[in-house]
Structure formats: structure tokens, C-alpha cells
Structure 1
């Protein structure tokens, strides 16, 4: 079992907290974009109030531990590992609660190249605990606007975790999935559930548009978010995201395995 002290050391050593790969320039640019309600940064969330740049920075300092100073404009950004650990504990509590009632769970990621293994481990454990891991609308086309124009993706599932692949990439070998911030995949999945008459998820687990898109629709959501994804933390502050875990989201995939083990142990879901 990974202890809190051991995990704290791993978080810092692996660059998931402490000084992270996300640069200060990137974070501040995203805060400005969020304040301007740029849809590339709001991730499907419609803020309930007006957030200016200073409001966003103050929130991110409170939730993530980034420096609350606009004068710091370069270098790596910072995440307080204690805040990460506290959020992981709350994340585990939500998993334990849905497992206790054998609820329906939808898991999805816009960062499949990095976070797929983390979510897949959760999906396996939740399924073993008697939860219904939902996989609706498999293969459905989703048109997403990118910097290269509108591209068509297909909704797919790998080990119970939703992601999108470019049109035509249907196999699982060598094609993990596309990186996206869009809320459209979770909307397509939920539309598939509604059309099929299946149960809506009791909990949505994910990142980027999966968290914000589902939270905007009133579903219980928890997820991981980097310091340049302020929408997830605004969603938490406004009550539409239950738990937002501050975490560098672009580290090597194996870096997230200790987190998965820690969360499953805390949730009493270890197999």
C-alpha cells in the first residue's frame, strides 16, 4: 500500500506536483482566455458569474497552490502536493460512495496517451465491485473544431474508458486516442444513453471536457486537472464539479500508477 508520505514524495519526484512541466506563461495565458470565455478553455462550462483574470489566479492559488502573483510570468508553474493529496482523498471518497451503492459510472478522458491507464484501473475496480461501467454510443461520430478546422472523430472505449479516435481508426492496437478538450464527446455519450433508455451515470470520472461538460449538465463529476485548466476548478468552486484534483496531466503514463493504487486503497477497492 502506498502511504500518503510516500505518494507525496513520488508526486514531486515525477513532476506531478511541486514544480511541473506546465509553464507559468501557459497558465497565465489560459487564465486570460478563461476570463474572456474562450470556448477552447471553458471546456463546456458556462460560468455562473463573471471571472476576471485576478479572480481566476486567486482561485488557482487557493485550489492548486500556484503563486498568486502576476509578476511571476516565467518558469515552471507550481502545484502544492498537499492540495493534490487532499483532493485525491476526496476523489477516493466519491468512488467509495458510488461503489457502495453499485451505481452506474461513466469514465472518459481527453488525455488518453497519458491518463488512460489511470482511469482503466478505476474502471476495472469499480466493475469488480458491482458497478455498471457505461459504454454508450460506441463508434458514434463527433465533429470537433480544432486549430486545423473541423475534424470527425469516433467515440470509442478501451477497458471501459471513453476516448475519441480520428475517423477510421477503430482498432485498439497502436491507436490510443486523440487529445481533446471538447465537451462534445461526453454529450454524445449521454445522448446515446438517453436514446437507448439506459441509466444515466451516478458519477462521471474524467478530465477536460468530460468533467466540465457533464458537470454543466448537472451530473456528479470528479476529475483530474492541470494548472492551465481553470474551468475544472471554477466548476468545483461553483458547485458543478464535486472534486478537482490539481495535477500535471502530461507526465509519462507510468507516473500515474501509484496514484491509481493510492486512490483504490483509500476507496477500499483494491483487488
Structure 2
């Protein structure tokens, strides 16, 4: 990968608001750090931390892995993600993709952010399939009950371009028809149960966000994915050795802004078509 490619992507990350100053607010990050320290399931995303993490521990980890300011007195304004850390993590992410592609291993991709990240994952799924990997699509159409602050909502596991998502009411906020926004690990567990029940191969790699990556890591599967500055569970999972790669990245930008990242990752993994 050329230095020019890396320099160009760094510039894009900052210009697109995917790193540098991002739309996630400091207030939201600190609130999620407190929730994670209290082991609130809305913040743990299916991860059961092995050690005790207090709010200061979480902030220190996020400063190290994500680049947020290590300053408890900074309680407002935009959050910050270090683009250099994002680039390093994307390189490691690409290496994991290349490894599974070399083995032609089965992969499972899923997202709780389909209205933002579906195109990113879909491009990866297409390239992995073209490389001979089995892109798994288990339990399609199965119902999943997800607890939200509004009560239990029932959604349906669906696949678009090889990427799992939840359609229906199992999420915070209605979607535009692409799928629902959810933090739950239950869709991941439903997919794995579907594979086991059908006697199909389990994934050698899970690629996803929120409950997909944390749920997979908790169950011992190799898992990689992006995480925002207010998603400490993914970085805790990485620090505890249960998530292979956590990519610090603003996860609520318009979908087209993630295309250069997809192209960069596929080129680095030698999966460009």
C-alpha cells in the first residue's frame, strides 16, 4: 500500500468527519462510559467484561485506542478520534480479511447500523465471496425479540448483499426500510444457532459492529469491526483479547463517506476486483 494511499485516506477521514472532530458528542461518550462501568447492557453490547472497569479506566482505554481526550474535565463539545489510530486499525482489519480469504474460510457479516454501514460491509462480502469464501446467511426470516427502552420489540433477521440486519421493530428509531438500528447481540446468536441447527460450518471470522462484533467475541469467534468513540465495549473486548480488531470510526455518517475506506481495505487485503 503506498504512502499516498494512506495520506489520501487520512485526509478523507478528517474531511468526512469519520475521524478528527466527529459528530459524536463528548456528553454522549461520557454517558456511555458511565453506563459501561455500571455494566448496563445497552453499553456492554453482549460483552461480559473479565475485569472491573470503572469510568476512569474506560476513559484511559478510549484515549489509548481511539484518541479521545484523557481529560475528565472536558465534558462538552465534539468528540475526537485520532485518524492515525483509525488508519492503523484499518490496516489490521485488512490483514484479518486477507487471512480468511487465503483460507477461503466461511465468514459472517452483520450490522446494527444498516442505514449507514451496509454498503461498506456489502462491498466486503462481495469481495470475500469472489475470493472463494462462503458468506454465511443463516436463519433468514427468523424472528428475534429485542429488549429496548420502549419494551420488547420483535424484528426479523434478513440479509442484504450478504450482510445480516434486523428488519422491523427491534431497534432504537425506525429505519428507512434498509434495516433497524440495534445494539443487541441477539441477532448474532440467532444466526449462530441457525448454523448449528442446520449442521453448517461456523464462521472463521465475524465482521460487524455493536452486538455483532461484541457478541461474537464473547462467544470465542474471531471478530473485527468499527466502533465509535461512544462504543467502549468493542475496545474493551479488544483489550481483553476477545475482539481481534476494533477500528475507531464515526459510525453515523452518510453511507457514501465509507466507500473510500472499503476500497482502501480491499486493496490492502489484495481483494480488489
Q: Deviations over 1:15-60 (max 9, x none)?
A: 0000000000000000000000000100000000000000000000
Q: Which residue pairs with 2:145 in the alignment?
A: 143
RMSD between superposed Cα atoms in Å: 0.9
Helix, strand or coil: the match of 2:165? strand
The one of 13, 16, 34 aligned to 1:14: 16
Question: Structure 1 segments of 4 or more deviating over 6 A?
Answer: none
Q: Which residue pairs with 2:35 in the alignment?
A: 33
Helix, strand or coil: the match of 1:20? strand
C-alpha deviation, 1:107, in angstroms: 0.1
Q: Which residue pairs with 2:5 in the alignment?
A: 3
Q: Which residue pairs with 2:69 in the alignment?
A: 67
C-alpha deviation, 1:147, in angstroms: 1.6
Q: Which residue pairs with 2:172 in the alignment?
A: none
For the pair 1:160 / 2:146, whether they are aligned, the reply is: no
Q: Which residue pairs with 1:215 in the alignment?
A: 217
C-alpha deviation, 1:148, in angstroms: 1.4
Q: Which residue pairs with 1:170 in the alignment?
A: none
Structure 1 gaps, min length 5:
168-173
Helix, strand or coil: the match of 2:243? coil
Q: Which residue pairs with 1:185 in the alignment?
A: 187
C-alpha deviation, 1:146, in angstroms: 1.1
TM-score by length of 2: 0.96
The equivalences for 1:68-87 within 5 A come to 68-87=70-89
Distance in 2, Cα, partners of 1:54 & 1:147: 27
The one of 187, 197, 220 aligned to 2:199: 197
TM-score by length of 1: 0.97
Distance in 1, Cα, partners of 2:51 & 2:83: 29
Structure 2 gaps, min length 5:
170-175
Distance in 2, Cα, partners of 1:216 & 1:257: 29
Q: Which residue pairs with 1:50 in the alignment?
A: 52
Helix, strand or coil: the match of 2:76? coil
Helix, strand or coil: the match of 1:133? coil
Distance in 2, Cα, partners of 1:69 & 1:54: 10
Q: Which residue pairs with 1:171 in the alignment?
A: none
Distance in 2, Cα, partners of 1:218 & 1:163: 21
Q: Deviations over 1:89-134 (max 9, x none)?
A: 0000000000000000000000000000000000000000000000
Q: Deviations over 1:153-211 (max 9, x none)?
A: 000000000000016xxxxxx62000000000000000000000000000000000000
For the pair 1:254 / 2:262, whether they are aligned, the reply is: no
C-alpha deviation, 1:216, in angstroms: 0.3
Number of aligned residue pairs: 265
